[in-house]
A and B are shown apart, each in its own frame.
Chain A
Amino acid sequence: MADPLLRVEGLEVFYGPIQILFGTSLQLQPGEALALLGTNGAGKSTLLKAIAGLLTAANGTIHHRGDNITGHRAQTRVARGIGMVSGGQAVFPVLSVADNLRVGAFSLGRDSATIRTRTDAVLDLFPQLQPLLKRPAGLLSGGEQQMLAIAKVLLLDPELLLIDELSLGLAPVVVGQLIDVVERLRRDGKTIVVVEQSLNVALHLAERAIFMEKGRVRFEGPTHELQHRDDIARAVFLGGR
């Protein structure tokens, strides 16, 4: 069997003295979508940050297309086609929307033709941003900021897209639009990992889910199965055990 797109094995990550991930493993095949679920503090964001290179692993390995990238910096991983949308504020609040996009295209270098085509393409995907180009990103609404954040990452045309919290704190109408965008990206063949608090949103986004608790994987399998695994779904989402 060919190498998976991403293979994480036995990952341990610390925040200062506190251990967040306890030997997490996962595999991703090209083109699939994976939802990372779990309660607050389960380590979902930490896992994404470690994959993107924002946090360093104390133990364990990360392989991308068969190459060990565990010690690589974020910028090297970006160049390999790993893109991430941070949770919370993923834009540059002081910069205008246009400048945010300029910064997003940083690693395209001085290839202005490509930059222009891709910028036009993401503005097609998020037409709402077109009239806001001159506004500082910090003054945008939460939904617009999330769109800008995704647009920024898409400029680099990543093969693997990591999204930390797609729907958190956003109005339902915006969440609906974002779900549509993610579905479109999947049709374009991108591999997607998305962290979600909401089981319902996750069900619509991914066919496979990993459920984490306290830095460990507690369930891995098809999302619809998770739905029927009452023990887990109830424990996390409905209260009581």
Chain B
Amino acid sequence: MSLHITSDIVAAGAIEGLGYAMLAVGLLLVYRATRVLNFAHAQVGVLGATITAKLVLDTKLPYWLGALAGILVGAALSFAFYHFVVRALEGRPRIVLLVATLGLSQVAVAAGNLLPTIQHSGAYPQAFSGRWVVAGVTVTAADLTMLAVLTAVGLGLALWLARSRYGIALLAASDNADSARLAGIPVQAIAAGVFTAVGALAALTVILYSPVQGVSAGTGQSGQGTTILLMALIASLAGGFWSLPRAAFAGVALGIIEALLYANTSSPGQVSALLFVVLVLTIALTAKKSRLGIDSASIAPATRPIPRALERSRWARPLSWATAAVTIGLAALAPLVITSASGQLTLVQIICYSLAALSVCVITGWAGQITLGQFAFVGIGAYLTAALINNGWNFFAAVGACMVIGAVAAGLLGIPALRVRGMFLAVLTLGFAFAVQAWLLPGPLLNPDGQTLVAAFPPATWGLDLGNLETYYYLCLTILVLVVMMLAGLSRTGAGRAMRAVRDNEIAADALGIWSAATKWKAFVLAGALAALAGALWGVGLGTFQASQFTADASISIVFMVVVGGIATLGGPIVASIGLVGAPVVLGHIVEPLGDQVQNISTLLGGVAALLALRGDPEGIGAGFRKLRERLLRRLADPAPDESGPVVDPAPATPTVASQEQANALQVCEVVVRFGGVTANDRVSLDLRTGQIVGLIGPNGAGKSTLVNAISGALPVAAGRICLGGTDLTRLPAYRRARLGIARTFQNASLYAGLSVSETLALAVAAEKSASFLGSLLSLPPTLRRDARCRAEADALAVRFGLEPWLDSLIKELSTGTRRIVELACVAARSPRVILLDEPAAGVAQREVEQLGTLIRNLQADTGASVLLIEHDLPFVLGVSDRVVALAQGRVIAEAEPSAIQNDPAVIESYLGIDDRAVQRSSSAQ
């Protein structure tokens, strides 16, 4: 097959690409202003364009007025979103903002669908018509309009951004909002302006793009919205998610590529699949350099666990059983009340959506990865079950096989996908959802007969009449209960804690010996299996279905609803599913004349309500349940709620003294570390002798933290060797080094915001032993026993470090000083051979610094480890250390006894200076 390529195809592709380019520019502007990916961008434009079509075709408004109205709608909706939602979400984790844009996208789609149907449907309106041949290329009036208007707008925008002081103020505002305010920049007014302008731009783009693409007005255009969103996202990625000109150029190139693909393949499905390949390649090429991954780590709001003293009270277990009994009882009674077939199908749908929503809970709520492709796995599950059942498979075997295939598919996608983070993963999974819906589901792999409508009617199996919806509902309910029990087991034990630790702070999790990448991957695989299970059950429940029921839009709406429901709890996803599926049905019953529009009205109202709810309680409805339970337990446990302290022996645990086999515990030889053009460590050599405390001093930027990061494996070294005892660590990943006995603290001591102190310590006690993922899922007795032992050990540790009052507090609620103590307790729990402390006294009041010295000495004595200590507070570091090494500009400039280092000429020159006031900072003011 030869490539079909003509100048007509290229020109048409370039013109379409201009549309992608402009949308990408809009995405980037919002990203620059708020650091969030606006997933609603295209749908807002589509809504504006639909209104234009309606006004021009049916109301016979002049084209220019209709276009203006559409643009104004885009601007107004975008401004309202900023004013009522974005502004209220300031300071929240970025994922909440991202999720809000998913909600806006839902609202825009539903509003578009609610518009009265266009009577005079036909070609999308345009300013004027005509067709010319220029230099052998056919050009239409629509092409020319688009070319002229968008080029003018784009150039004008570029000029304004480059020349006006507002262009740079926009960058500053997103970079550091507080400092921008302090420079007198009206941050909110600028952001409001950006949102308004970008809304208008989106509408303008879609209005001009629709006639070029040959869209016919009157048919639902929302499908168009998600497609062009994906194209704009790819273009933005190619621009490194920063550069407007590069994104614009990439948009045009993408249009040409798309046109060539259409001209050279046989089906739109293949184009989708190939565009997914383009997306994967773009991400692979840009992920390292782009800024998109950097600031996306903050994720899911954490809910405080119920204090364990309360959970150990004698009412805790009966209350759990009672809650479970009432919930399951209500669910079991439902089909007796709702007897109609459609009603019972809705009940089945709620259960299947709950399973899909739970998969989002695992992957986004616990493992912290945003995915917009879960419905792809649901679709795979449904299609595969149908194929297997139609081949004569037993129903249960088919469902089981589906889960395995779902897990394998997720595992395969996870290997490349989890190498990228945050918003990259969201874009990648969205592209995957597209390719699956357009290519895989209708294609020969899962649908060998090539039917549009797939049927799955299993015969009675194991005495169960699966065709009877009531029976089928009870089967699905049983499965849901089992899944919830398994997930509850997972969240309670080490494997679940490890997942949440990775979510909150990957680098710190690695430093505890947790293999972050594998932990995320396991969550991805589990979520894939759950979503496929949901699909298998839903497909059979429906009986007949088609690919359009498993859209990327469905993936988006479920993520949105789950966040509103409470993303980190098990109750939240179920509540979300009841709302998502049940609300339209209930609404339809109450207000009968709504007719066909009930789904859209419900989505619109639900979306707006959920957007507003998002502003209130960030923890979601599921967290409310937990608080209710805590309140009940407190009331029941009265009058003495908190008397039962930890049941462990407060005597210090016997320290594990590292063997003294080596005089040099840690050897650092000629290590070189580079960032970009800067050499942060330039052939640094350092020996840590067993049992010694070595202070590492040097001015800011000398490379002290870099050295600690290089030793712990948080940063790669360009040259040199790092050895622990006789083991070469240089090429080992951070978690392996942690397992070999390197323990460390971090300058920011941020630990795991969403874990309690007791959970954090338990994690440190047994980070690598928590690997029994399956044991946690199945609540196997050995796993539970091991977990209880490790919780007890953690409690004992808390007593030793005086942390009992904070056992049930979340890390994010602690002061810096307390967090540093927790970090040191974690280090003690690791039985380390080498301890690296990065500014343990920073941000700690001077009163506490003195205690810190004793604590560090005791820690060293208890563990027998060698300690490398970075500190700025000279009296402190000189008092604690046996030996001091001074760094400056990436090199070791001196190494001496603490008493001698202050007199070293090189140190005095580069570090101490001559200002006595500053040197004596923490020494007393007598």
> In the complex, which residues of chain A have a beta carbon less than 8 angstroms from the beta carbon of B847?
39, 235-240
Instruction: Say yes or no: A78 contacts B183, CB within 8 Å.
Output: yes
Main secondary structure of the interface of A (DSSP, over half): helix
Interface string of B814-845 (1 = CB under 8 A from A): 01110000000000000000000001001111
Q: Chain A interface residue count: which class?
A: 35 or more
> In the complex, which residues of chain B have a beta carbon less than 8 angstroms from the beta carbon of A175?
915, 917-918, 921
> In the complex, which residues of chain A have a beta carbon less than 8 angstroms from the beta carbon of B839?
169
> In the complex, which residues of chain B have a beta carbon less than 8 angstroms from the beta carbon of A168?
842-843
B457 at the interface (CB under 8 A from A): no
B754 vs chain A, min Cβ distance (A):
16
Instruction: Say yes or no: B921 contacts A75, CB within 8 Å.
Output: no
Question: Which residue of B817, B914, B924 has the most chain A CB atoms within 10 A of its CB atom?
Answer: B924
Q: A86-B179, A142-B700 are in contact. Are A176 and B845 (CB under 8 A)?
A: no
Instruction: Say yes or no: B925 contacts A237, CB within 8 Å.
Output: yes
A103 at the interface (CB under 8 A from B): yes
B181 at the interface (CB under 8 A from A): yes
Instruction: Say yes or no: B179 contacts A91, CB within 8 Å.
Output: yes
Interface string of A27-44 (1 = CB under 8 A from B): 000000000000111000
| A-B CB pair tally, cutoff 8 Å | 185
B180 at the interface (CB under 8 A from A): yes
Q: A39-B845, A86-B178, A169-B839 are in contact. Are A102 and B184 (CB under 8 A)?
A: no
Contact of B165 among A106, A149, A152 (CB under 8 A): A106
Instruction: Say yes or no: B917 contacts A227, CB within 8 Å.
Output: no
Instruction: Say yes or no: B182 contacts A74, CB within 8 Å.
Output: yes
Interface string of A175-217 (1 = CB under 8 A from B): 1110100000000000000000111110110000000000000
Instruction: Say yes or no: B872 contacts A171, CB within 8 Å.
Output: yes
A222 at the interface (CB under 8 A from B): no
B698 at the interface (CB under 8 A from A): yes
Which residues from 683 to 706 on chain B have a C-beta closer than 8 Å to any C-beta of chain A?
698-701
Chain B's closest residue to A199 (CB) is B925
A26 at the interface (CB under 8 A from B): no
Instruction: Say yes or no: A176 contacts B699, CB within 8 Å.
Output: no
Question: Which residue of A139, A172, A174, A237 has the most chain B CB atoms within 10 A of its CB atom?
Answer: A172
Contact of B842 among A107, A109, A169 (CB under 8 A): A169
Q: A168-B842, A170-B872, A175-B915 are in contact. Are A107 and B699 (CB under 8 A)?
A: no
> In the complex, which residues of chain B have a beta carbon less than 8 angstroms from the beta carbon of A52?
182
Q: A103-B169, A200-B917, A235-B847 are in contact. Are A171 and B699 (CB under 8 A)?
A: yes
Give Cα A53 to B181, complex, Å.
9
B778 at the interface (CB under 8 A from A): no
Contact of A95 among B168, B816, B910 (CB under 8 A): B168
Chain A's closest residue to B697 (CB) is A171
Chain A's closest residue to B913 (CB) is A173
Contact of B915 among A152, A153, A176, A237 (CB under 8 A): A176
Instruction: Say yes or no: B924 contacts A237, CB within 8 Å.
Output: yes
Interface string of A211-231 (1 = CB under 8 A from B): 000000000000000010000
Instruction: Say yes or no: B921 contacts A172, CB within 8 Å.
Output: yes
Instruction: Say yes or no: B842 contacts A153, CB within 8 Å.
Output: no
Instruction: Say yes or no: B925 contacts A156, CB within 8 Å.
Output: no
> In the complex, which residues of chain B have a beta carbon less than 8 angstroms from the beta carbon of A73?
181, 186
A60 at the interface (CB under 8 A from B): no
A157 vs chain B, min Cβ distance (A):
12
Instruction: Say yes or no: A40 contacts B699, CB within 8 Å.
Output: no
B636 at the interface (CB under 8 A from A): no
Which residues from 141 to 199 on chain B have a C-beta closer than 8 Å to any C-beta of chain A?
165, 168-169, 171-172, 175-176, 178-186
Chain B's closest residue to A107 (CB) is B184
Chain B's closest residue to A176 (CB) is B915
B622 vs chain A, min Cβ distance (A):
20
Give Cα A237 to B181, complex, Å.
34
Instruction: Say yes or no: B176 contacts A106, CB within 8 Å.
Output: no
Question: Which residue of B176, B182, B915 has the most chain A CB atoms within 10 A of its CB atom?
Answer: B182
In the complex, the 7 A-B pairs of residues with the closest C-beta atoms, listed nearest first:
A176-B915, A173-B913, A107-B184, A141-B701, A142-B700, A171-B699, A175-B918
Chain A interface residues (CB < 8 Å from chain B): 39-41, 49, 52-54, 73-75, 78-79, 83-84, 86, 89-95, 99-100, 102-107, 109-110, 139-144, 149, 152-153, 156, 167-177, 179, 197-201, 203-204, 227, 233, 235-240
What are 14 pairs between A and B in contact, CB < 8 Å? A40-B843, A73-B181, A75-B181, A75-B185, A93-B175, A106-B183, A109-B165, A141-B701, A171-B700, A204-B917, A236-B846, A237-B924, A237-B925, A239-B846
